[in-house]
């Protein structure tokens, strides 16, 4: 089993550019999440989804967008990248019991 697969692993964006971070899980989990992790700040929830077609904002959604057209995929879209979006992004999925499985992360730098 691949678990949760994130691409790309690294990316450098220029200010104002856009990009999509891909996330796919093969565990048939209904719940999927996007977090960002800044040094010393812990993980902050950006968006989450409880099933295909259903998404909702987390703690820090500004500047991001998501979609959930299938159970497997949960892409995160960054529009008009800003230096404040420099971070490590983690996608995760879970079953109803609540323990997450994380992807390997995407390290994004906006210059």
Phi and psi angles of residue 43, each rounded to the nearest 5 degrees, phi first: -100, 130
CB-nearer residue toward other proteins: 48 or 64: 48
CB of 54 to other proteins, least distance (A): 12
Segment lying near other proteins (by CB under 8 A), choices 19-27, 39-47, 61-69, 77-85: 39-47
CB-nearer residue toward other proteins: 75 or 105: 105
Kindly state whether residue 102 participates in binding other proteins, applying the rule CB under 8 A: yes
CB of 101 to other proteins, least distance (A): 8
CB-nearer residue toward other proteins: 14 or 97: 97
Q: Tell me the site size for other proteins, rule CB under 8 A.
A: 24
Distance CA 47, CA 66 (A): 7
Distance CA 96, CA 57 (A): 19
Residue ranges in contact with other proteins by CB under 8 A:
31, 33, 35, 40-43, 45, 48, 50, 58-59, 90, 94, 96-105
């Amino acid at each position: 089993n691949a678990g949760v697969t994130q691409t790309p692993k690294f990316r450098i964006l220029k200010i104002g550019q856009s990009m999509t971070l891909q996330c796919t899980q093969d565990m048939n989990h209904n719940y999927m999440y996007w977090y960002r992790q800044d040094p010393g700040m812990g993980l902050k929830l950006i968006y989450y989804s409880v099933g295909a077609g259903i998404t909702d904002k987390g703690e820090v959604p500004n500047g991001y967008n998501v979609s959930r057209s299938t159970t497997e995929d949960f892409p995160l879209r960054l529009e008009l990248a800003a230096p404040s979006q420099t971070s490590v992004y983690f996608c995760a999925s879970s079953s109803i019991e609540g323990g997450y499985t994380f992807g390997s992360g995407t390290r994004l730098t906006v210059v």
